[in-house]
Amino acid sequence: MEEIVEKLLNCKILSIKVVQELWKGYGCIYRITTENKPEESIIVKYISPPNNSGDAHVQKLESFHIEDRFYRKYAAEMTLCRTPKLIASDFSVNNKFVMVMEDLDSAGYMERKLNRELVFRFILIF
């Protein structure tokens, strides 16, 4: 993961902290700092799926493509809630996927609130 992110961002990683592991061994979410902006952390979602097959596996892989598409095309248009900015993403060989995003904590949004009405309204858009 480190090598892919350093190449994608063209910089060295200074620190890495695990934020959350993804379901069923599909990867991990990390908070990292880089030499470019050591005072600001960024979030890296690294997907390295196990060698599975079947419909559930295909659906999980497709969900990562959908998430990438959301951040590329729709996140900036969200006015009802703050979403992180997509810095870079890369699908490489063997279904490995890296998504580098703004860290909302570094951007001053440390508190998280779930508004069910907004979630349902957003789901209806798709």
pLDDT at 31 > cutoff 90:
yes
Confidence of residue 126 (pLDDT cuts 50, 70, 90): low
Q: Which has the closest alpha carbon to 98: 43, 58, 52?
A: 43
Query: Is the pTM for the entire model greater than 0.85?
Result: no
pLDDT at 91 > cutoff 90:
no
Mean pLDDT calculated for residue range 28-53: 90
Beta bridge partners of 102: 42
The 3-state DSSP class for residue 103 equals coil
- pLDDT tens profile 59-82: 888 888 899 999 999 888 888 778
User: At which residue do the structure tokens 């729709």 appear?
Assistant: 74
Domain 2-125 has CATH 3.40.50.300: no
- 39-63: string of b/e by CB count within 10 Å (b at 16+)? eebbbbbbbbbeeeeeeebeebbee
- How do the domains of the chain map onto residue ranges? 2-125
Which of residues 123 and 38 earns the better pLDDT score? Answer: 38
